[in-house]
Amino acid sequence: MQLICSRMIPYLDPDSLAAGKGREALFRRDDGRFILYLADGDPLSASEERVIPLALREALIWINEPAQERGLFCI
């Protein structure tokens, strides 16, 4: 598996209104498929993590997202 791109996304926690940073990372598997890893919160605390399989087209859209649209996969 190869890391293609990763980024940190600032957000506000809806319950506490505390500022946080989410993490998004796009990986390419050995078979050519893509995986998007999403995590919210501090890596040292209990955080929610998700793994989403992506097709090539979806991976390209994610890589080329404008800055104001980043983090929408988290919704």
> What would the pLDDT profile of 46-70 be if each residue is shown by its tens digit?
668 889 999 999 999 888 887 666 6
Residue 48 sits at the vertex; the CA angle it makes with 44 and 51, to the nearest 5 degrees, is 115
- Tokens 């989410």 label which residue? 22
- Tokens 């498929």 label which residue? 33
Please check whether residue 23 is in contact with residue 3, taking contact to mean a CB–CB distance below 8 angstroms.
Answer: no
The tens digit of pLDDT for each residue in 35-44 reads 999 887 665 5
pTM, full prediction: 0.72
Q: How far apart are CA 43 and CA 14, in angstroms?
A: 19
